[in-house]
């Protein structure tokens, strides 16, 4: 028997209640699709990731030098169908599964 994958109870930790999708019990970030279940948002993000990877493999070359605009574009390509903030510089601190992303105040310095 194959063990069931354990689903995390909270997808992300964000700054305030307004950052979460109403009805998700603070487990799913506010999203364009109205998704309130962790498994469904994970599936939507995975689809976005796969679609973005396919597009990038087709359009990018190995000698491309990435710029800040490229990072924003990839982020929007990956998550733009799901989140309004995709492709925009983050101004709130965010973590996922115990991993803390770069603090928002340092992002401009890290993106040069």
Q: Can you spell out the DSSP letters for 76-98?
A: HHHHTTT-TTTTS---S--EETT
Separation between Cα atoms, residue 110 and residue 87, nearest integer Å = 16
- Between 15-19, 82-86, 96-100, the lowest mean confidence (pLDDT) is in 15-19
Give phi and psi for 95, each to the nearest 5.
-140, 160
This prediction has a pTM of: 0.77
Q: From 1.10.1200.10, 3.30.1280.10, 1.10.3290.10, 2.40.50.100, which CATH number describes the 17-102 domain?
A: 1.10.3290.10
Where do the domains of the chain lie? Answer: 17-102
pLDDT at 2: 44
Q: Residue 29: helix, strand or coil by DSSP? A: strand
Q: 54 to each of 17, 37, 78, 87, 102, how far by Cα in Å?
A: 34, 26, 11, 18, 27
The pLDDT tens digits for 31-50 are: 999 999 999 999 999 999 99
Q: Looking at residues 43-68, what average pLDDT do you find?
A: 92
Q: Residue 16: helix, strand or coil by DSSP? A: coil
């Amino acid at each position: 028997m194959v063990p069931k994958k354990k689903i995390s109870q909270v997808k992300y930790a964000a700054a305030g209640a307004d950052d979460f999708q109403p009805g998700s019990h603070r487990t799913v970030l506010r999203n364009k699709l109205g998704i309130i279940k962790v498994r469904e948002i994970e599936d939507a993000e995975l689809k976005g990731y796969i679609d973005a990877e396919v597009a990038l493999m087709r359009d990018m070359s190995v000698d491309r030098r990435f710029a800040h605009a490229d990072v924003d574009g990839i982020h929007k390509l990956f998550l733009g169908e799901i989140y309004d903030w995709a492709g925009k510089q983050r101004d709130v601190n965010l973590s996922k599964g115990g991993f803390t992303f770069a603090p928002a105040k340092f992002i401009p310095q890290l993106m040069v």
